Amino acid sequence: MIENPIGPYPGRQVFTGLNKDQNPCFAYLVTGRSPESRERKAVQMGDKIAIGPLGAIEYDPLRHYTAVLHDKATGILAVTNGIQTEAIFETYRLLFNVKTAPTGDYLEKVMEGAAAEPDSLHTPRIGAVITSHEGKHVSFVSIKRHDRPAQAFEVKMQKGSLTGISTYNGILETPGPFDPTPDLPRLDLEAVTAQEIAKYVFDISAATNQGQDIRVCTVGGVLTSAGWQMAIVNVHEK
């Protein structure tokens, strides 16, 4: 059985790249050790996907947020683990509209402004964007740790390959911030559809903490001629 390349506890994780049909695609994974972290689900609402509570629970900006935001007209998509989603999306949509080449510098500035989460683990912010310039698809992934400036990395858009970044280093018992050096993890992807991508990442991320499945949800997406096609796997709906 293939396992998550980060390890049993990546925290939140995003992958971007190209599927076997050479269409831009992404996957977003949410895991959690505490009951509060696990009592969430992903919900599609028009052009965005939100991570929200299972029931009538008070809003918590560290647990409830817009994870994915996309645009059919431009094909631009942003995916993150928090408050930075909208800012990343609007930044790269502006660059697209004024025909300015997208670079990772813009992503780093937004991520630096978002800062690491103010929790006991100093949970890093992570984010990714998929856009295009002069007819070529471009993607960047980024992380903002509490102890380092924000870093962004351009993804090599290769057929059947996804490049990822996560909040934690994969250690279930004592999670620490993910270190993106020297290399980012990659997945060799046979999956083609959004549903296949979401299920694949969900399946390879199986892990338990004190007898409880730590997986919360996965989101998969593929950019087609009709726009972004999305799929969600929620553990509480299985």
Full DSSP string of 157-199? --TTEEEEEESB-B-SSS--B----S---EEE----SHHHHHH
Q: Is 23 helix (H, G, I), strand (E, B) or coil?
A: coil
The model's pLDDT over 41-50, given as tens digits with 9 standing for 90+, comes to: 999 999 999 9
CATH 3.20.20.10 describes domain 12-237: no
Q: Residue range 63-69: average pLDDT?
A: 96
List the single range of 42-56, 79-93, 144-158 with lowest mean pLDDT. 42-56
Q: Kindly tell me if the per-residue pLDDT of 238 is higher than 70.
A: no
For the chain, what are the domain ranges? 12-237
The model's pLDDT over 177-213, given as tens digits with 9 standing for 90+, comes to: 999 988 999 999 999 999 999 999 999 999 999 999 9
* pLDDT at res. 174: 95
Helical residues (DSSP H) of the chain, grouped into ranges: 35-38, 85-97, 104-114, 194-204
Which pLDDT band, with edges at 50, 70 and 90, does 1 fall under?
low
